[in-house]
Amino acid sequence: MARGQSLIILGVAILLGLAAVFIAMRWIAPSDNSATEFRPQGLAKIVVARVPLDMGTPITEASIKLIDYPASALPAGAFTTTAQLTSEQRVALNRIEANEPILLSKLSGKGGRASISALLDPEKRAASVRVNDMTGVGGFVLPGDRVDVLITRTLPGEGDRTITDILLQNIRVLGIDQQASENTDKPVVVKTATLEVSQLDSQKLALAQQVGSLSLALRHNGNMAPEPVRTVSLNDLRDGSSGALAAPAMFQRASYGYRPRARRVDNAVTIVRGLESSKYSVGIYSGN
């Protein structure tokens, strides 16, 4: 009798265990199915850089790879297959970091090369100016910075007056010498700076280099607004307060130094008779 009860209890336990396993499988199975359904819908393949790519680096199979990327957040100009890049012989126009998506805006055209023209705004021109360690802000101007262009020239006539004007404001630097990569972070003494300007401004730069000397003034990256300008001459180099005080002192010393001479009074009368003249002293008498 006791043995029969034990068998019954064992059978019930087995049934309960099987029921628990069945319920657990039914509970977990929908989650797995939903995960497998979400993956192909929520992710897409995108081409990224396998290693850091400097400007001018050719895009090859060894330098790129595919990774999963949220399909709803794909950046504009992204590539979804490596064949799109390797078959077109493109090169990088800007530095691309490892695992950074490779975008069309950072690449040259098909079969292209690293050309600064690809960095230009469609309405702009690239114009170069001569600079040195003094006029080029000591070499601290780098590609991507913004500068003001100053011109110093001597005006003919008027005593050959020398003046300095702001020729252009808020101009983007495209390159320094032959270096156009914005990844450069060390100051370099250079000979030329290539600037992004309008067609009219490029004419101004060409003329300005013939009539005077140009120099660059580095701007803060966040300062884009044009500022009022004025012409500076040699007179602006003097301290106006000391000059204003010096003039009265000079005139004051001159006034103290001047003493009018006393006029000499001669009480004499000269009488001329023919060719002879005679001089007689005249006394002063009172009216009494």
DSSP string, 87-135: TTT-BBSS-B-TTPBPBGGGB--TT----GGGGS-TT-EEEEEE--TTT
Q: Which helix (H) or strand (E) holds 168?
A: strand 161-176
Phi/psi at 272 (5° precision): -105, 125
Cα distance between residue 230 and residue 161, in whole Å: 16
User: What pLDDT is recorded for position 261?
Assistant: 57
pTM: 0.50
Phi/psi at 17 (5° precision): -65, -45
Q: What tens digit of pLDDT does each residue of 200-230 get? A: 999 999 999 999 999 899 988 787 888 888 8
**97 vs 257, more confident:** 97
Domain ranges of the chain: 2-36, 45-116, 123-236
If pLDDT is split at 50, 70 and 90, which confidence band does 38 have?
A: very low
If pLDDT is split at 50, 70 and 90, which confidence band does 188 have?
A: low
Q: Tell me which fold the domain 45-116 belongs to.
A: Type Iii Antifreeze Protein Isoform Hplc 12 (3.90.1210)
Q: What tens digit of pLDDT does each residue of 160-186 get? A: 788 999 999 999 998 887 655 555 555
If pLDDT is split at 50, 70 and 90, which confidence band does 115 have?
A: low
Cα distance between residue 87 and residue 15, in whole Å: 64
If pLDDT is split at 50, 70 and 90, which confidence band does 131 have?
A: confident
Question: What distances in angstroms separate CA 127 from CA 100, 157, 172, 228, one per listed residue?
Answer: 31, 31, 11, 24
Instruction: State the alpha helices, DSSP H only, in the chain.
Output: 2-42, 83-86, 199-211, 240-257
- Report the chain's mean pLDDT, rounded to a whole number: 76
Cα distance between residue 197 and residue 162, in whole Å: 26
User: What pLDDT is recorded for position 251?
Assistant: 36
**Any idea which of 65-69, 81-85, 273-277 has the lowest mean pLDDT?**
273-277
Q: What tens digit of pLDDT does each residue of 146-160 get? A: 999 999 998 887 667
